[in-house]
Structure formats: structure tokens, C-alpha cells
Structure 1
Amino acid sequence: MERNYELAEKIKEDNYKVFALLSKYLNHSPDFITKEEIEEIVQGGVSYEYAFMVILAAAFGLDIVDIDEDKDLFNNYFKKMIHKLDASEYANNPYYKNINIPTIKIGKSELKYERYKPFEGFVCNDIIQTKAGRQIPQIGFFESEFMFPAILENNRIWMTITPNEIETMKEAVDQAFGHVLTFGLGLGYYAYMISEKDEVNSITVVDTNGDVIDLFKKYIVPQFKNAGKIKIIKADAFEYARTQMPKGKYDFVFTDLWHDVSDGKDMYLKMKTYESLSPKTVFSYWIEKSILCYL
């Protein structure tokens, strides 16, 4: 029993260590790994992913050859954490293929394309939690430059459509049916994807940002083949959930109000309290699996 407790505590320490190292890397130098470094290691017969892992581990100060603890951390996390992504797979995404994003600015909001540099690391999917309790972030990279749509607020990236959004919304897209309510507009990726589904009759989008709504209405929604399904309401999401959601008789509700886990925990918990007001409705939340790892 004591050994199990010690193992559980060690796994918690490992989780914390990996998250701390990745946080520093992603926030301060996600593009420090270069093509030249990768290709030099790949010449030894290993994959691009393994080369990326080795460079990242070294940058974190890990000795994966002589120190057993570092070697275990590498094997338990890095090998399940790093992914070389296929740009062509995302280029064939319906939104990327059919929606053209202009460069335009309204108020404090700016619509434009941003980019990942070759071998720049970024979060690409929800955290994986193993049976043993290990929480493994999912980090992706592309071999070449990758462009993606974004909305900036005061020159800070606020909303994007990256592989992370695409992957973490797949389940909510697949599940949507009937009359759908979604909290959070962004660039309309979720609204677009479900508007293409025959099983979805109507989509009500609630967002509080007037500039973003104006950008969407003027430049993006006219490109939607099934734009007639979509209704946009400028309102506070939580007030709408409390007072209007029960009246709407929605079949499916998807909430995407947060930038990441750090600002999402409290909003997630608050929105969960309104589920009881609509007992027949199916609820889904963006990056819920990752949020639950922090609760």
C-alpha cells in the first residue's frame, strides 16, 4: 500500500515537472529547434520525432543516457508526447479549403493569418491521462511552415484555428445534432463544421465581443454554404445560459469561451452549474479532458 502511495506521488511530481518544463518552452522559445539540428540527428537513422524529442530533452537539462530518472521521464512522457504532423491532412480540412480569411482590422480586433515556423512546437491535442495517472501533454510540429487563421486582440493572439482546435473539436462536431447552441464564436470553425451536417437543424451562437461578431458577419459567414442555419446573438454567455438557454429547448450545447486551461477552469465549472436547467440537453465543452486534469 505504501509503495503504491509513493508511486502515485512520484507520478504527480513527474507530471508537474513535465508541465513546468513545457510551459517555459512554449511560452518563451517554441521555435528554438532548427531544421539543421533535426536533420543532423536524423542522418543517424532515427525519426524526425525522435530527433525532436532528444533536442528538447537536452534543452530541458535531462540526461537520458546516464541518469535513470531522466531516462524514465523521457520514456514515460516524451515518446507519447511529441508528434510530427502532416500538413496535407489539415490542408484538406473543409474550413481551410473553403473559407478565405482576409487581413482586416475592426476596433481592437484584427483578422489575419499567423504561422508556425518549421519545427516550432505547439499544443496539438487534449492531454492524455494514463491509467497510472500520468498526464501527458500533446505537442506537435510541422516540417515546413504552416499558416493558420487567427484573431488578435490588442496585438495578442486570442482566437485561432490550428490543428489543436481541429483535433479538440472533432468529438463535439461529431456529436452535434438538432438545434445547437454554442457559446463562443471565434472564427466560426465550430459553427461552420456543424452547419455542414444534415443532422443539425439550427445553430445559435452567443458571443459578447461585438468586433468579432462584426468581422464574422461581414467577412466569414457569407462564405458558408449553409449560413441560413446560423443565428448570432451578442450577449453574456452565463446570463444567456441562466435565463435563455432553458427556453430555447436546445438539443446540444457546446461551450468554447476560454483561451486555454488556465483561464478555462473557473468558467467551465460555472457553466456546468447551468446544465440542470436543461436536463434533456447534451452538453459538451472545449478541451474538457485537459481541464479535468487540473481539477
Structure 2
Amino acid sequence: MDRKQVSDQIVNENRKVFALLSNFLNNAPDFVNKDEIEEIVACGVSYEYAFAAILTAAFGLDIVERAEDKGLFNNYFNHMVHKLEANEYYDNPYYKNIKIPTIKIGNSELKYEHYKSFEGFVCDDIVRTEAGRQIPQIGFFESEFRFPAILENGRIWMTITPNEIETMKEAVDQAFGNVLTFGLGLGYYAYMASEKDEVESVTVVELNEDVINLFSRYLLPQFKNAHKIKLIQADAFEYARTQMPTEKCDFVFTDLWHDVSDGIDLYLKMKEVEKHHRDIAFSYWIEKSILCYL
């Protein structure tokens, strides 16, 4: 095969894997059950291998007899599935120090949600290999895992899951000086940034009044460095147009989208804003995953 043929093949494999994973995550994320996975693990393989094998069989892939399916397994599924350790996340400073009450304000509700044991979920940014393969990252826990969430009209809207923790690490590490973040959520990024000695202030721009009220009343008082945080109710792009030129800002983190599907247009719009602020460092939530679609 020449390079063009290999490239086309990988593009097709990427699309196939994404379609299979999308169907699984949207329709049956709790398909894998404990008894089935432990039966396979008893044969001497890892939990990750057993989970991936169950998935591929459910997708109708034959990784024993069909070379094409075996290739998909080795190139994608073998690098895709991760058994996560709950204590590594429960030891996260936000999880340890911030307690989530069950409260409802307007259409917004603050509470804990959970993943079932062996339920699959996106746990990190898409990994892109040198060959161009795009490998989703799927995690699961051996037992039920609780995480903070905001529901809007009864549907999960904002969360702090392992995915948020992993995909914000870089932006937290890079934060310094006067930080501006677009999007509040449950205040995870604001909390983690405010804990840094290198960060002098964190200005949070959020449009949703209910989310601001929930955060201000029940979460912000628990922040050790609440004095560093300033909340502004405004549209992100209007604020960027009218206020950023006159505000002292060193680092900007944008988290205005729920996932890649609704993030691409907003990401591109904020990248245009970035062009007018060359002296400010910008960072974007799940940028690596978004770039896989551009």
C-alpha cells in the first residue's frame, strides 16, 4: 500500500471505531457486567482486555478469525480501555474538600450522580497516533463511582468526572497571574487554579444565573482561596469583545461546551478572539479531541 491508501484505510478505521463507540456510550454504556468480565479475567487476562473483548464481540467483530477485526482490536481497543482507581479521584483536592449538597434552584439542580460498576464512559481526550489513528479513551470503575453534577430540567448538564479532571490538568498546570475562565460549571477549574501560588486572581465569566447562584451560595464558601475568585454574569464573547481589552489578564481558559459536537464552532470563535490578544496565553477544554475533527 502507498501512503495515500494507508491514510484512507486509517480514516475509515477511525470512523468505524467512533461509530461503534458512540452507539455503545449513547445507548448501552452499562452493557458490560461484572460476572461476565470476571469470568474472562479468571483466564489470566487484565480487566481492560476482558472489557475490550466483550465490547468487540458485542460489536460483531471476530478478533480470532478475521484479520481486519483483529487489527482493529490491536490498533484501537487494546489502547482504548482503562480500569480506573476510584481513590485516585476521590483524593483529588476538589473531591476531598468540596461537599455537594442536594439543592435545586430554578431549573438547575445540584447533586451527586454515579457511574455503575463497569459502566463505560469517556475518561480523557482522544489520543492521536503518528500514523493518524484517533483512539477514544474509555474508562470504567470496578465499583460504583459518585461524582458531582448539575442537572438542567432533570438532565445531566455539568459534571466533575474523571474526564473533566484529566482534560483540565494541563490548563491547571499552565495557569498563572490573573486568570480568566469562560464557563463556571461546578467551579472545578476555578478551585484548582485558585489553589496555585502562581495565580493571583481567577475571574469567571458565566451566563447562567441559576448556576452562578448555586455556586455562590453552596460551593464558593467552601473554597480556601475564595478571595481570589470574581464572578461575572455575562456572555463570554460579549465580555471578550468589550472587557478583555481593558482588563489585566495573563491566562485564559475556555470551557463553554459540553463535548466535541457542540464545541467546534465555539472553539473556532474563541480562537478568533485569541488572535487579538497575542500577549495572553490561551487554553481550551478538550482541544486535542476537537482538533481531531478539524
Q: TM-score range by the shorter chain?
A: over 0.9
Displacement, 1:8? Answer: 0.2
Equivalent residue, structure 1, for 2:277:
278
Q: How many pairs were matched up?
A: 294
Contact 1:64 1:70 in 2 (8 A): yes
Unaligned runs of 5+ in 2: none
Query: For 1:24 and 1:191, how far apart are their aligned partners in 2?
Result: 33
Query: For 2:129 and 2:110, how far apart are their aligned partners in 1?
Result: 38
Equivalent residue, structure 1, for 2:16:
17
Letter in 2 for 1:130: T
Could you list the per-position Cα deviations for residues 155-175 of structure 1 after superposition, in whole angstroms to 9, with x for gaps in the alignment?
Answer: 111100000000000000000
- Aligned positions of 1:33-48 closer than 5 A: 33-48=32-47
Query: For 1:267 and 1:47, how far apart are their aligned partners in 2?
Result: 40
Equivalent residue, structure 2, for 1:192:
191
Query: For 2:221 and 2:277, how far apart are their aligned partners in 1?
Result: 32
1:253 paired with 2:252, answer: yes
Could you list the per-position Cα deviations for residues 87-121 of structure 1 after superposition, in whole angstroms to 9, with x for gaps in the alignment?
Answer: 11111000000000000100010000000000000
- Aligned positions of 1:6-155 closer than 5 A: 6-155=5-154
The share of aligned pairs that are identical, in percent, is 74
- Structure 1 stretches of 4+ moved >3 Å: none
Contact 1:249 1:278 in 2 (8 A): no
Query: For 1:128 and 1:242, how far apart are their aligned partners in 2?
Result: 33
Query: For 1:179 and 1:120, how far apart are their aligned partners in 2?
Result: 39
Letter in 2 for 1:93: N
Displacement, 1:221? Answer: 0.2
Contact 1:42 1:48 in 2 (8 A): yes
Could you list the per-position Cα deviations for residues 202-260 of structure 1 after superposition, in whole angstroms to 9, with x for gaps in the alignment?
Answer: 01000000000000000000000000000000000011111111211200000000000
Displacement, 1:32? Answer: 1.1
Query: For 2:275 and 2:10, how far apart are their aligned partners in 1?
Result: 35
Displacement, 1:15? Answer: 0.2
SS at match of 2:2: helix
Aligned residues: CA RMSD: 0.6
Letter in 2 for 1:164: N
Query: For 2:290 and 2:14, how far apart are their aligned partners in 1?
Result: 15
Query: For 1:128 and 1:248, how far apart are their aligned partners in 2?
Result: 36
Equivalent residue, structure 1, for 2:215:
216
Could you list the per-position Cα deviations for residues 143-165 of structure 1 after superposition, in whole angstroms to 9, with x for gaps in the alignment?
Answer: 00000000011111110000000
Unaligned runs of 5+ in 1: none
Contact 1:183 1:206 in 2 (8 A): yes
Letter in 1 for 2:187: G
Letter in 1 for 2:181: T
